[in-house]
Amino acid sequence: MEELTSLKEKLNQYANIVKFPVEIEAKIKNLWDIKKVILIAVCGETASGKTTLVKKLQPFYYANILNTDNYFRDISDLIKKHGSYTKLVESGYPTEGPENFQMNVLRKDLLALKEGNPIWMPKYNFFDGASTPKQVGFYPLRITFVEGICTFFDQVRDLFDLKIYISVDKDLQWKRYQKRACERGQDSAQIQKQFQIVSEAVSKYTLPNKTYADIIIEAKDNIKTVYKANSIQLKQLLDQKETERDQRN
């Protein structure tokens, strides 16, 4: 908790120098009231722009971000057995399904965050598929975004105060998928095949959960443009959830 205390002190020192507007001062005060953590799920297809969206929202709401990619199961032995990640995907392994996530660990960690407690989450390595438990420290703030395809799964969906779904244009999604797959060291010659397999899995595991969203963002353009178009609605919903949470506590 020393890091959190230090961050509080720095912000308080800054607040003594700079006069914040009233509404900003109120948000700063609530920022440290972590007994009232609001969890916001951001779900969507692979390469839909989830990370980009939450990074745009983060400073606006004085929030932090939990990326659920770290909750992938350890598949390093499976990759070795099949010879490569591509061959594992081709074998029918459910890379986009709840079976490929440590959902019990994720639920336990989310429950801790809702109570204002820090967690140590696992660390996933995309290059070899290995997962190491309790490697990454994470502190909750009053508003915490949790992004990833697993956030709408049955095992954790009930824990979120607000659920956002990003629906992406296929051409834009393919460009993003190519770029990210190369960054993760995946075989460039097999990316097209992987994308087709993942798209089929998304239709089975991700798209059906779209109906649980409080807000659906149609990402047919650059996600930054989409954010601007939806920011007012997002703020209204978030303010509503904050009010509901305050009334319950």
Is residue 178 included in any domain, yes or no? yes
- Is 114 in the same domain as 223? yes
Per-residue model confidence as pLDDT tens digits over 138-182: 988 888 999 999 999 999 999 998 898 888 777 777 677 777 776
Is residue 245 included in any domain, yes or no? no
Q: Which two tokens stand for residue 93?
A: 């392994």
Is residue 249 included in any domain, yes or no? no
- In the chain, the N- to C-terminal Cα span, in Å, equals 23
The CATH number given to whatever domain includes residue 204 is 3.40.50.300
Asked whether the predicted pLDDT for residue 102 surpasses 90, the reply is yes
Is residue 95 included in any domain, yes or no? yes
Which residue type is seen at 194? Q
**3-class DSSP state of 105:** helix
Query: Taking residues 87-92, what's their average pLDDT?
Result: 85
Is residue 20 included in any domain, yes or no? yes
pLDDT at 242: 67
Enumerate residues 6+ apart whose C-beta is below 8 A from 45. 149, 166, 167, 168, 173, 199, 202, 206, 207
Is residue 199 included in any domain, yes or no? yes
Question: Strands, E, within the chain: which ranges?
Answer: 38-44, 64-67, 119-124, 131-138, 143-147, 162-168, 215-219
- Is 23 in the same domain as 113? no
Q: 101 is in which domain, residue-wise?
A: 37-238
Query: Taking residues 116-136, what's their average pLDDT?
Result: 93
pLDDT at 170: 72
Enumerate residues 6+ apart whose C-beta is below 8 A from 239. none
**3-class DSSP state of 162:** strand
Which residues sit opposite 131 in a β-bridge? 124
Residues 164, 217 contacting (CB under 8 angstroms): yes
Residue scoring higher pLDDT (235 or 83): 83
